[in-house]
Chains A and B, each alone.
Chain A
Amino acid sequence: MPHTTRVLHSEWTKIRSVRSTLWTLVTALTVTVGLSALICAFTASQFDKLGKNEQLNFDATQTSFSGSGLGQLAMIAFGVLIVSGEYNTGMIRSSLAAVPQRSVFIAAKIFVAGGLVLVVGMATSFLAFFVGQALLGEHSVSIDDKGVLRAVLGGGIYMTLIALFAMGLTFVLRSPLLAFGILMPFFFLISNILGNVNATKEYAQYLPDQAGKTVTAVVPESLSRPYGPYEGLLIMVGWTVAALLAGWIVLKKRDA
């Protein structure tokens, strides 16, 4: 078996053998699907009370994914735990003694974790969509409608990218406390606040989560961004690649 394959195997064993980490993925799925369903059901019952503009710009796809704001935090937790679990336990010393080729090590970890998160992210996205549409009833859209499949696939990719972004940043920070302390409030509060305050809106729309969200929107007017869904996704990919590169450089340069 070639070396890289063996390291991938080893990383897969590491992921599947720590229960607490896996629970974050279960949480990401249930929270996103559950909360989205709740919001969809509520929206369906209150649809007539919405303003004219809101009804016109109503985005059924985006609404069925509205629980992801909370669910993504569990995805971030997964990304943080999978990396900080190496550092705060000292496991990193065993890991790098076994695989001293650090680029291979980090690539294998990102690949395996990314693959798993993509599967869970897609499952979450599709489940949230179909459950949400069922609850929206007459206001729902079909997966065959224009742009909908792209938005649902985009939702899965969004979940994957946010977890990978967290991984990259945690490779830089190493400490789970620091990583959680920065990422959680940022994506839960700060990014939203910056995105809603007029003075900062213009810049905040280029933040990873704000940009990435556009890919899950089918009615562009609901967001009013100067870039389209694919450009938005690309901006988020850029952030993720930057975070992973930073993590890779730190891993290469710093003592373990």
Chain B
Amino acid sequence: MIELQALTKRYGDKTAVDHLTFSVRPGIVTGFLGPNGAGKSTTMRMMLGLDSPTSGSIRIDGKRYNQLRDPLNHIGALLEAKAVHGGRTAYNHLLCMAQSNNIPKKRINEVLDLVGLSDVARKRPKGFSLGMGQRLGIAGALLGDPKILMFDEPVNGLDPEGIHWIRNLMQHLASEGRTVFVSSHLMSEMSLTAEHLVVIGRGKLLADTSMADFIAKNSRTFVRVRTPEPERMRDILVHSGVMPVFEEDGAMQVDGVDPARIGELAAWYRVVLHELSPQKASLEEAFMQLTAGSVEYQAQGKGEQPSRQTGQAGRRRR
């Protein structure tokens, strides 16, 4: 269990983390979502006592991080940036961490096996690929067999097989009753692994909800209608009690009507249709809308408007 209470971090006059209050419960994977620069990594560093908060507090199983005796046995973390000396072999890297936290040596080989790095245990991480580096970081997190695990953008740099592996690992860890807290800037990734969702933007809490609730609330279905006679079609739809919304390129979005019914109406009034397609707004789109006001560096220009772009991306995925 991790509890954050009004956690705030300021750098000069810039507020990176702004009165965050939420808790991370055991037994499930909690996704920590936010656009780049939202304050996710800063929050995680504060959880580990690496950065000190300007105000507010964090309790891990009721204690401050630096009050934990042998912290690696309570909480293990994979941080976004590499945290390994490139000239020290994988085994020795884990050994020096194990020694300070009273972890038996045989556990080192266990975690190396678990992450699939046994063959390179005596190699120096200087020559490791991004994925191997990530696996070594995960081995470090698992070293103390902790009840709480924290992963900052764990799938970054992993190949599809690696991504699959880490998703299963996180779910497996949660199913053992552990607290799993994982950050990402990709909604699609979260929707596959997380059961609970904490969304932040510009350091502020935007949502703290179960994934199921978030999906139910945010996955809007609609029908896209494209016709050479948009004005007529709109009148027809308005007449039958629905108000279509026009998209930029002239297509219409119709809510709450069956595509079959729209097709029948068009046929009855002899309107030519070029498109009649049921659509589902992606979670990515819902996430973008939620964080729209809080994106650090927004792309400019028409072609890159967030909602439009993810709509496309969402379609492609299906």
Task: Mark A residues whose CB is within 8 Å of B.
Answer: 1, 3, 6-7, 9-11, 13-14, 17-21, 85-86, 89-94, 96-101, 255-256
> Which residues of A lie under 8 Å from residue B71 when comparing CB positions?
97-98, 100
Q: Is the CB of A17 within 8 A of B77?
A: no
Given A93-B79, A100-B49, A256-B51, A10-B99 contact (CB < 8 Å): yes
Q: Is the CB of A96 within 8 A of B87?
A: no
Given A19-B87, A89-B84, A94-B68 contact (CB < 8 Å): no
> Which residues of A lie under 8 Å from residue B45 when comparing CB positions?
93, 255-256
> Which residues of A lie under 8 Å from residue B79 when comparing CB positions?
90, 93
Q: Is the CB of A85 within 8 A of B50?
A: no
Among A1, A11, A100, the one with the most B-chain Cβ atoms within 10 Å of its Cβ is: A100
Q: Is the CB of B50 within 8 A of A93?
A: yes
Q: Does B20 sit within 8 A of A, measured CB to CB?
A: no
Q: Does B318 sit within 8 A of A, measured CB to CB?
A: no
**Alpha-carbon separation in the docked complex, A54 to B51 (Å):** 58
Q: Is the CB of A255 within 8 A of B50?
A: yes
* Number of residues from B at the complex interface, CB < 8 A: 34
**Alpha-carbon separation in the docked complex, A19 to B102 (Å):** 25
15 residue pairs of the A-B complex, CB under 8 angstroms, read A10-B96, A13-B95, A14-B85, A17-B88, A18-B87, A19-B87, A89-B84, A91-B84, A97-B71, A98-B72, A100-B71, A255-B45, A255-B52, A256-B45, A256-B50
**Alpha-carbon separation in the docked complex, A86 to B88 (Å):** 11
Cβ-defined partner of A6 (8 Å) among B48, B65, B101: B101
**Alpha-carbon separation in the docked complex, A86 to B140 (Å):** 16
Q: Which residue of B lies closest to A104 (CB)?
A: B100
Among B45, B48, B86, B99, the one with the most A-chain Cβ atoms within 10 Å of its Cβ is: B99
> Which residues of A lie under 8 Å from residue B92 when comparing CB positions?
13, 17
Interface string of B55-86 (1 = CB under 8 A from A): 00000000001101111100001010111111
Interface string of B30-41 (1 = CB under 8 A from A): 000000000000
> Which residues of A lie under 8 Å from residue B77 when comparing CB positions?
97
Given A9-B100, A14-B96, A3-B69 contact (CB < 8 Å): yes
Q: Does B109 sit within 8 A of A, measured CB to CB?
A: no
**Alpha-carbon separation in the docked complex, A114 to B142 (Å):** 32
Nearest chain A CB to B7 CB, angstrom units: 14
**A13-B96, A91-B84, A100-B66 known; 20 other A-B pairs, CB under 8 Å?**
A1-B102, A6-B101, A6-B102, A13-B95, A17-B93, A18-B88, A21-B87, A85-B85, A93-B45, A93-B48, A93-B50, A93-B79, A94-B97, A94-B140, A96-B50, A97-B48, A97-B71, A98-B101, A100-B48, A255-B52
Nearest chain B CB to A101 CB, angstrom units: 6
Q: Does B89 sit within 8 A of A, measured CB to CB?
A: yes
